[in-house]
Amino acid sequence: MGRRPAAVATYCGVCALSVCAAAVGGADPAGVHPEQWPQVRSARPADPQLEARIAALLAHMTLEQKVGQLIQADIGSITPEDLRHYPLGSILNGGDSAPRNDKLAAPSEWLALADRFYDAAVGGPASAGLQPLWGTDAVHGDNNVPGATIFPHNIGLGAAHDSELVRRIGAITALEVRVTGLDWAFAPTVAVARDVRWGRTYESYSEDPQLVRKYAAAMVTGLQGAAGTPRFLDATHVLATPKHFLGDGGTAGIDQGDNRASEQALRDLDSPGYVAAIAAGAQTVMASYSSWQGLKMHGNRALLTLVLKGRMGFDGLALGDWDAHAQLPECTRASCASALNAGIDVLMAPRSWRELFDNTLRQVQAGEIPAARLDDAVRRVLRVKLRAHLDQEGRPSSRPFAGHFALLGSPEHRALARAAVRESLVLLKNRNHLLPLSPRLHVLVAGDAADSLARQSGGWTIDWQGTEPNAAFPHGETIFAAIQHCVSAAGGSATLSPAGEFHPRPDVAIVVFGEHPYAEFKGDVPTLEYSPGDKRDLALLRHLRAADVPVVALFVSGRPLSVNAELNAADAFVAVWLPGLEGGGIADVLFRTAEGRVRYDFRGRLSFSWPSSPRPPAVDGQPGEPPLFPLGYGLRYRDPGDLRQLPES
Ligand code: BGC
Ligand code: BGC
């Protein structure tokens, strides 16, 4: 394993000695060869003035204040008052956490709570001169806040193949996060999902690393502003967090599982999103729950410290995931020196933050966590805070755009979300050119997902698993409502009957069905067969066809699934993914104008291979079934859309 390259040598000039020693001599014990990984040319040259300010801050910090910077608590378990005594460097709201523990708390309550945390932090003895950061899972818009614009989940954006769209979505998401006074989005997920049985597939843009690479740069630029310009992390932007480092998409469909790829495959398939995100100025990276070759990522010093921070030159902070450190064999939620020593800078300890603080302090005092590692981690946190101008920002509510609640779900923002929906739809079948439809028809809208904002939005929407009723959303248009709006304006009609009952016979039926919301491990499935235990949707499609009603199937899902029987039973079939709140984007494409013009053609192309059977398709040279529709597939209106009869086993 060749000699240590110059970049690592330079990095070692400013890093903890323990790191430098390990970098010498090629292969790390974990079987990693840092010199074979890409070097990143960052848009941010080293800034001696910034480093001097960090050093000055560090010099005045107590050990307690330093340790506090390394710990992140959840707002469900920490009060502003606690911050007067515990100098934590950051807080988060998990997917189920909200002000007053009320998921429907108004946006103004988020901002008021941000002020209370700020006041407590800067007023108390705990302050290290910089207030805490507040991070949130703004993964498809500012999705925890009722009223925010909700964009399609990443899988749909992948099908749009439009980086500029993704950048604009990032910019609007950042602005909406700013309205409620928060600083930090735990996005984008840059996982390259290669087995769609994984419950987080919809958080992945694509199985194609090159598409993920482009989108990672676009989303980081949208959220943070363009690195190297005055807009970077200004008052309209927030910190971005490419996640989950590294290899979460390669765990054979098992959330938090083990990625068995070779080092080369891990590098070539899983890392391009990070390389691009860091080059675009990403300031924080979240580590993965998953393992690589049996070793949990939170303990993988070679990948976190030598590759990410060394070779890739990442000088921001590496954040742990929700209690993920507790999965290291030697750790608990409340104690984990080894994750910090491996290179995690901030441990996400939602509930156990207090005990973790006490234990970490003891471990630093006992030398279990070397002073140099502590200082390196704190420097990284301070660097991110200063780059985010936290020293110049006053109370959250005093910042530009804070409290401008009309920006949440503003007509302009929702228009972009609607455009994103239009671009994300993938037409898989269109027999006899059934689509586009005339808006003068009498349309039956069926299927149990036709009138549900939660179904069309998926997980990470208001709450973690995405289970809120329509009434929880201050605005949004269900797919049925959008169809009804479109046809009634043109002289047609739309009737909703989830079970597909009708009288008299409609001109056409649009059946909206698919997966129910899920997030993370709750969405792992053992087979790609759609709805193995319940064939009611298939029966509904067949029932309508048997009654001579032409059938358009709209498949709502977080991943492609084996739907041969449903494809056979429908005349037209559209993958709509998880479009979010703007059902109007679907009606825009399905219906002509009253004058008969095509309003919008389909533009989406698959960013994931579509399975031909319940077994996963071959992806990236791995063994597997041939796909039914390959990457890049997607019909236009002019294309012949008939599909041969597919095998149903
Ligand atoms: C997820 C992360 C998320 C974090 C905070 C974890 O369970 O893996 O993606 O950012 O929770 O909600
Ligand atoms: C939180 C999520 C988190 C998950 C981890 C949930 O309770 O709301 O944010 O990702 O736990 O398992």
Tokens representing 102 are 């009320």
Give pLDDT tens digits for 369-427. 999 999 999 999 999 999 999 999 999 999 999 999 999 999 999 999 999 999 999 99
How high does pLDDT run on average in the chain? 94
Residue 19 CB coordination number (10 Å) = 22
Asked if the model's pLDDT at residue 17 lies above 50, the reply is no
Residue 370 CB coordination number (10 Å) = 17
Classify the phi-psi angles of 335: left when phi > 0, otherwise alpha if psi is within -120 to 50, otherwise beta: beta
Residue 373's nearest CA partner among 351, 345, 346 is 345
Q: Bridge partners of 284?
A: 317
> Is 620 a residue of the active site?
no
Residue with the bigger pLDDT between 7 and 85: it is 85
Percent with pLDDT over 90 in the chain: 91
Alpha helices in 316-387 (DSSP H): 337-342, 353-365, 371-387
Give pLDDT tens digits for 138-179. 999 999 999 999 999 999 999 999 999 999 999 999 999 999
pLDDT at 42: 67
Q: Is the CB of residue 243 below 6 angstroms from any atom belonging to ligand 1? A: yes
Give pLDDT tens digits for 472-515. 999 999 999 999 999 999 999 999 999 999 999 999 999 999 99
Q: How far is CA 395 from CA 119, 206, 387, 426, 613, in A?
A: 7, 39, 17, 45, 55
Residue 472 CB coordination number (10 Å) = 16
Tokens representing 101 are 């523990």
Q: Is the CB of residue 292 below 6 angstroms from any atom belonging to ligand 2? A: no
For residue 219, how far is its CA from the centre of ligand 2 (angstroms)? 23
Ligand nearest to the CA of 199: 1
Using 50, 70 and 90 to split pLDDT, how confident is the model at 12?
Answer: very low
For residue 316, how far is its CA from the centre of ligand 2 (angstroms)? 24
Give pLDDT tens digits for 608-624. 999 999 998 988 878 88
Residue 467 CA to residue 458 CA, distance in Å, equals: 8
Atom number, ligand 1, closest to the C-alpha of residue 189: 9
DSSP single-letter state for residue 625: B
Q: Ligand 2, from 322, 462, 467: best to mutate by most atoms within 8 Å of Cβ?
A: 322
Tell me if 637 sits within 8 A of 436, measured CB to CB. yes
Residue 275 CA to residue 209 CA, distance in Å, equals: 11
> Is 321 a residue of the active site?
yes
| Annotated active-site residue in 270, 321, 423, 537 | 321
Q: Is the CB of residue 184 below 6 angstroms from any atom belonging to ligand 1? A: no
Alpha helices in 13-102 (DSSP H): 17-23, 48-59, 63-69, 80-83
Q: Report helix, strand or coil for 284.
A: strand
Give pLDDT tens digits for 125-134. 666 678 999 9
**How many helices (H) and strands (E) in the chain?**
21, 17
26: Cβ contacts below 8 Å, ≥ 6 apart: 1, 2, 3, 4, 33, 35
Asked if the model's pLDDT at residue 15 lies above 50, the reply is no
Tell me if 542 sits within 8 A of 562, measured CB to CB. no
Residue 584 CA to residue 421 CA, distance in Å, equals: 8
Residue with the bigger pLDDT between 8 and 531: it is 531
b or e along 130-149 (b: 16 or more beta carbons within 10 Å of the residue's beta carbon)?
bbbbbbbbbbbbbbbbbbbb
